[in-house]
Amino acid sequence: MSQELTSNGVQPTQDERTMATLAQALQLVGSWIAPLIILIIRRQSPFVSFHALQAILLQIIYMFVMFSCVFGFVVFGVAGAFASSRANGEPPLAVFLLFPAVWLVLMGFGVLNLVIGIVYAVKAGRGEWAEYPLLGGLARRMLKLGPGGTSMALSS
């Protein structure tokens, strides 16, 4: 497992590119668990760890958004049902407006999750150190990696 250091960082091997691609692609069916398993198995590879950690962070945010939307809908739905039972017995208009809004948010984040998973799986397969917007920098800091996979100690 020799890694070649180029002018723009560490060049990943074919095996590392395959594992990073799997971490990105399997997040679509395995949520955060599949990238976590790959991260644990290939922890010694900065390239695989970087891509797997980005996928894990994305899935954690995705789960948080899903649970928040569902929880908010249930809370407002129960509050609306309780309020309508005290009034005239009809469900409030907010419940009818809230459901499509929650559904659109969930579907929007689902499509975004799918697109990000596919795009970054292709980039990982090409050997690119592609960063997610916002999460890529966080993953680099967590793994103490500089640009191109160089160690933070080397890049300073």
pLDDT at 58 > cutoff 70? yes
pLDDT at 3 > cutoff 70? no
CA neighbours within 13 Å on the CB side: how many for 74? 6
- Give the span between the Cα atoms of 99 and 92, in whole angstroms: 12
Q: Do 62 and 45 contact (CB within 8 A), yes or no?
A: no
Average confidence (pLDDT) over 143-151: 76
Q: Which H or E element spans position 108?
A: helix 93-125
- pLDDT band for position 155 (50/70/90)? very low
- Give the span between the Cα atoms of 82 and 97, in whole angstroms: 17
Q: What tens digit of pLDDT does each residue of 82-111 get?
A: 666 665 666 667 667 777 888 888 899 999
Q: What is the pLDDT of residue 8?
A: 54
- Give the span between the Cα atoms of 89 and 66, in whole angstroms: 30
CA neighbours within 13 Å on the CB side: how many for 98? 18
